[in-house]
């Protein structure tokens, strides 16, 4: 079973974040530039929320607000669920499904150590299953599986 630590070793530990006083427009610009769907909200070194494309869709567009006149603090989700590096991909998937979230910050010893998305978790699970299938093919046929 893969751990969060293994996902972070592949994708890196950088976390893109904004302050709560950033305008939603500027936050969206960062998300577009970095090709990401969420930003952690950090205020004086403390995580104070997370803002996703979904927050924008539901709390700005559908409310008839303007992104240049709205601050991240007005639409962010203040309750931030997180995982630790030792947790498994299954733990992350269960949390994401049960809580209907797509991004999880990673903490280690109370310090921010990365951020993973639902795509990262699905990729890790698929890689793991493919590895198991290859091992089984090798075992059954007695030959290494050279496809890939
Ligand atoms: N092939 C891959 O390795 C891979 C991995 C993840 C996502 N994806 C693809 O990207 C698309 C969208 O993915 P998603 O819905 O998981 O979310 P997403 O677009 O928010 O995430 C894309 C990548 O950016 C990273 N990311 C997102 N927000 C971040 C932040 N604030 N700080 C640091 N890193 C951040 C994620 O961890 C992920 O690796 C999907 O089409 C998915 O298949 C591909």
Is the CB of 118 within 6 Å of ligand 1? yes
Q: How far, in Å, from the CA of 65 to the mean position of ligand 1?
A: 27
pLDDT at position 84, please?
98
Orientation angle between helical segments 4-11 and 118-141, nearest 10 degrees: 100
For 35-50, how does the pLDDT look when each residue is reduced to its tens digit (9 = 90+)? 999 999 999 999 999 9
Predicted TM-score (pTM) of the model is 0.89
Provide the residue ranges of all domains of the chain, joining segments of one domain with +.
4-141
Residue 74 pLDDT > 80, yes or no? yes
Provide the pairing of β-strand 46-52 with 83-84.
unpaired
Each residue's pLDDT tens digit, 98-146? 999 999 999 999 899 999 999 999 999 999 888 888 888 888 888 766 6
Least confident of 30-34, 91-95, 143-147: 143-147
Neighbours of 100 (CB within 10 A): 7
CA 88–ligand 1 middle distance (angstroms):
18
**Is any ligand 1 atom within 6 A of the Cβ of residue 102?**
yes
The Cβ of residue 102 has, within 10 Å, a number of other Cβ atoms equal to 17
β-bridge mates for residue 117, sequence order: 103
- Please tell me the class of the 4-141 domain: alpha beta
């Amino acid at each position: 079973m893969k751990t969060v630590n293994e996902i972070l070793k592949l994708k890196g530990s950088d976390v893109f974040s904004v302050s709560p006083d950033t305008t939603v427009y500027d936050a969206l610009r960062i998300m577009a530039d970095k090709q990401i769907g969420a930003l952690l909200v950090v205020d004086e070194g403390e995580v104070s929320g997370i803002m996703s494309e979904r927050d924008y869709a539901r709390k700005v567009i559908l409310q008839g607000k303007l992104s240049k006149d709205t601050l991240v603090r007005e639409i962010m989700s203040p309750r931030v669920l997180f995982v630790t590096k030792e947790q498994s991909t299954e733990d992350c998937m269960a949390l994401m499904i049960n809580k209907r979230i797509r991004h999880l910050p990673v903490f280690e010893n109370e310090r921010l150590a990365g951020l993973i998305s639902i795509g990262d978790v699905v990729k890790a699970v698929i890689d793991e299953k493919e590895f198991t299938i290859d091992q089984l093919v090798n075992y059954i046929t007695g030959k290494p599986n050279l496809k890939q």
